[in-house]
Amino acid sequence: MSATWFAKMEPVHSTRGRIRFRYRCRRGTSLEPRQISRAVEAIQGVLTVKVNPVACSLVIEYETDATDTDTLATALLTLAPPDNPLPNGKALASDTARLGAVAMSGATLLASRSLNPSMQMSVAFGTAVPLLGEAIDDFLEKGITSHVLEAMAVAISIGRHDYLAANTTSFLLALGEYLEHSIARRSDDLLKHLLEPGSKEVWVERDGAETLIPAHEVVVGDTVIAATGTVIPIDGTVLGGEALVNEATMTGESVPVVRKRGDKALSGTLVEEGRIRIYAEQVGRQAAAARIADLVEQSLTVKSETQLEASRLADKTVPLVLALAAATWLISRDSERVAAVLQADYSCALKLATPVAFKSAMYRAGHSNILVKGANALERLAKADTFVFDKTGTLTSGALQVTDSITFNHDFSPEDLINLAASVEEHYFHPLAQAVVEAAHSLNRHQHFQHQEVEFVVAHGVASVIDGQRIVVGSRHFIEDDEGIVLAEYKDVLDKINAEGKTILYIGFGGKLLGILVLTDTVRANSAATVARLRALGVKRILMLTGDHYDRASQLAKQLGLDAFHANLLPHEKAKILEELAAQGSTIAFIGDGVNDAPALSGSHVGIAMHRGADIARLAADITLLEDNIARVADARALALSTSKLIDSNFKLTVGLNTGILSAAAFGWLSPVKASMLHNGSTIAILLRALLGGGMPPKTKARASRAPRKQQRMTY
């Protein structure tokens, strides 16, 4: 591949802050306008980019303070081509160009009967020129292919003055290509919407002053300010300050973490409390979310094995049709029969119906909040016989719930402990605080304790005064190190709870540990129903892998009716277990959400990432859920099975109908016009069936689908 993308970049017209270039890509590089636009947008100082692939025109609006026309021209000519150029440099045309081809061929088809006979040939030939040119290229490069047969059918129809057949074939091919490209583009748009930046403006510190600037103006080396409620827009290192950051989008962890000087800050994570200054290291297209958007978008161009096999089979049928035409001529010496035979073939429906069915299913999946990154993902999901779930954030919600209230003072009941904590926590918007407040409101005896002004200690907890005594609620570090409360006598209890992987909230009152609240992740209300529905959809085994404690994993596996589980696992151990299952002959679908699930997602036959999963998990996965609903996993399986069934039935219809048409034509029972009408009519019907039949099937009724009711357990 060439070292640079563009062979020519000629300025055509420019005004202040705007310039139009006429470009030419080097042979073998991508012509895809979206790829060109993305690459040019990444150049420093560029504001907007418009690409016209037909006119080879590139219009750029830029910041005059950051760059100029000469600098832009130099930067464009040194751009490296993308890693995934389309084969032989044949890129997908724009929607406008493809729709124009459909409109032109459709208009020709409708007008062919009304045109003057002397004009019909030139109009039909002009419409077929792109098809004929592609057929010549195919013949020179690959020999006889379906494109060659299509071109022969059109050419013979034109030669026999059968312009209706020629124009119908041209229209069908143009329509099929437009539909496939349009549906693929809509899938790309879904991904862009999923990963688009949370804010278009960013606070930065420049020359000692804080300034609000557009997000695209942030450069490497800037000091970015992220305060409460801000989604961090860049990847970098914290220079100062302290904040509580929710990194669920990157790590899958439900509990926010403290970020201070020297820590890494990741784009797409949310500052829940506090304020930090971040040195920008990766910005714009180089930030995590943008890189992931690029990589996943590239994966959408990957074809499934079924699609490739259908294309190969379509090419293999070409010599058979030609042989049948030759045999018909040798036996009958009837050119009309030969012409009728050449009007029909298997290739149109075989090559178009399968990709259209896949793309239609992908598009409809998006409307059901499921992003499918390629046809091969649906294909593998339909074949999967073993579903393996991560626990936290997948089978469980990732939202904390108070499960135990343990008091160390007999004057206070477990209910009192919850009410005390909630009285001071209700002013604090933190997941732990919200869980405590919800627990208090669910009590039969909810009581509010009057207190003085609440003191917030960032990333540690809260403090106040009740009945003249100081109450503190927060982390062990806050209680033990900052407040000096001794925890030694409770070591056994605390160690046991920590070993179970649970979260502890400490409550100190009057300088002593009054008690603790134990919180755990909650099981999703529809996890059991989803497991049952997957079994009804033909899944043979359902397993769970988790780094959580064995006892809790065992309890959850029994509650959901899983076949087996593995606990206390490290990330690489999850991937190893999947390798062992694959070696035993299992076809595996893995469902996870965190960074630690990425190896397992990549190592499975098909990976499914939850909506709130880490960016790296969504990158590694083949399917991403666009809403936080585990039921969509079963929906995706149902869609995959439905699409597979549709493709199989379309294949049988194509073979059956076209075999019948070819046989009737060979025996002289069909004229060329009738053969063309039957063939093209059946092709349209099969294509429309592929387009309209790829929707989400009705939900399968599953036994034992009632989810377990949530319970709150208190330990006295």
Helix axes 631-666, 347-367, angle to 10 degrees: 160
Q: Write the CB contacts of 413 (distance below 8 Å, at least 6 apart in sequence).
A: 407, 716
**Order of strands across the sheet that contains 541-545:** 370-372, 623-625, 606-609, 588-592, 386-390, 541-545, 564-566
Residue 302 binned pLDDT confidence (cut-offs 50, 70, 90): low
* pLDDT of res. 252: 44
Q: Write the CB contacts of 415 (distance below 8 Å, at least 6 apart in sequence).
A: 405, 443, 445, 447, 714
Q: Give the model confidence (pLDDT) of 411-443 as tens digits.
A: 899 999 999 999 998 877 677 888 899 899 889
CB 125 within 8 A of CB 131: no
Q: How far apart are CA 166 and CA 676, in angstroms?
A: 9
* pLDDT of res. 713: 39
Residue 716 binned pLDDT confidence (cut-offs 50, 70, 90): very low
For the chain, report the end-to-end CA distance as a whole number of angstroms: 71
Q: Give the model confidence (pLDDT) of 33-62 as tens digits.
A: 777 887 888 788 888 888 877 668 888 988
Residue type for position 342: L
Q: Write the CB contacts of 179 (distance below 8 Å, at least 6 apart in sequence).
A: 356, 359, 687, 691
Q: How far apart are CA 591 and CA 237, in angstroms?
A: 31
Longest dimension (CA), the chain: 112
Q: In 31-164, which ranges are E strands?
A: 46-52, 57-62
Q: How far apart are CA 10 and CA 72, in angstroms?
A: 11
CA-CA-CA-CA torsion sign (19, 25, 29, 30): positive
Percent of the chain with pLDDT over 70: 80
Q: Give the model confidence (pLDDT) of 353-408 as tens digits.
A: 887 788 778 877 877 888 887 788 888 999 999 999 988 788 988 778 898 999 99
Domains of the chain: 6-91 (3.30.70.100), 201-295 (2.70.150.10), 369-396+524-635 (3.40.50.1000), 401-520 (3.40.1110.10)
CB 95 within 8 A of CB 174: no
Residue 667 binned pLDDT confidence (cut-offs 50, 70, 90): very high
Please give the positions annotated as active site: 390
DSSP 176-228: HHHHHHHHHHHHHHHHHHHT--S-SEEEEEETTEEEEEEGGG--TT-EEEEET
CA-CA-CA-CA torsion sign (85, 90, 92, 96): positive
* pLDDT of res. 300: 45
Q: Structure pTM?
A: 0.63
Range of weakest confidence among 478-487, 503-512, 613-622, 624-633: 613-622
* pLDDT of res. 116: 74
CB 194 within 8 A of CB 611: no
Q: How far apart are CA 681 and CA 168, in angstroms?
A: 9
Q: Mean pLDDT across the stretch 656-661?
A: 91
Pairing of the two strands 512-523 and 564-566: unpaired
Of 240 and 302, which is predicted with more confidence?
240
Q: Write the CB contacts of 580 (distance below 8 Å, at least 6 apart in sequence).
A: none
CB 361 within 8 A of CB 562: no
Residue 193 has pLDDT above 70, yes or no: no
Residue 705 has pLDDT above 50, yes or no: no
